Amino acid sequence: MSLPTYTMLIEPQELAALARADGSLAIIDCRHDLARPEWGAAAFLARHIPGAVFAHLDRDLSGPITRESGRHPLPEPERLAAAFGRWGIDRATQIVAYDQASGAYAARLWWLARFLGHARVAVLNGGLAAWQAAGLPVTSATAARPARGFVGEPRLSWVVTAGEVARGLERGEIVLVDARTADRFAGRNETIDAVAGHVPGARNHPLARNLDAQGRFLARAELEQRWRETLSGAKPSAVVSMCGSGVTACHNLLALELAGFAGARLYAGSWSEWIRDPARRVALS
């Protein structure tokens, strides 16, 4: 019997059934707190979905910070592929990523796997909170997964540089969409980065607009309506997603796919990279 393939979202009961049937399934815990970078690892040790392994945003899903980079640069493709191999993933493995609830961090792993050419990856809808609300088990027991060989095929065209963003906006060739909250986008409540505001010409679509009150993704029809409002007729291929550091921008990329608007790209450096160069303009509103 062939097992179902999940490429965007998976529900808690679907994951529970898949875990019973697929011994090669890789479940990746991506919980993180920007203000407490080690909270996710500690939370994982306290309780997690049985069989899961932990991926740290800073150490596993990001590369080293440089003088020019943002806060969460993309990891080198070879290094990321090696991490996937250590987590027991090969090109045939179904991956499921989860975080505490919203998918804000799990979507980063979802996008990175797809960036390496791995389509069989999904985000647990509602995260660990939904899993526990469904009465499904958690554990503190950890076990290493047997390593596998993972060969990535990075899709470098999916990533947009700061220079390409500036030129694309100047020429009217891109639609830049920022996933930060409205107050941070407007420059009224910047508590993370050294400069407040947004890239001139960017549009704001806070990731919370993709979610219901329980931190689950909205139904496709509602997502489609909300994204049509944001895009105002722009083609998905013209969309570039950004946020503070290129993490929650992936949440909007997942939501776009769910809404039927495939083809958007990622400004990986995002706001925290943009402001590294004082010559780059900043807007407040």
Q: Is 243 helix (H, G, I), strand (E, B) or coil?
A: coil
Q: Is 54 helix (H, G, I), strand (E, B) or coil?
A: strand
What gap in Å lies between CA 51 and CA 53, rounded to an integer? 7
Q: Is 211 helix (H, G, I), strand (E, B) or coil?
A: strand
Question: CA 120 → CA 68, 96, 227, 267, distances in Å?
Answer: 33, 9, 25, 23
30 is an active site residue: no
Asked if 110 contacts 104 with a C-beta cutoff of 8 angstroms, the reply is: no
27: DSSP letter: E
Q: Residue 254 has which token pair?
A: 């997942």
Query: Active-site residue among 243, 253, 256, 275?
Result: 243
Distance of CA 162 to the CA centre of its chain: 19
What gap in Å lies between CA 80 and CA 71, rounded to an integer? 17
What single-letter amino acid sits at 225? Q
Catalytic (active-site) positions: 243
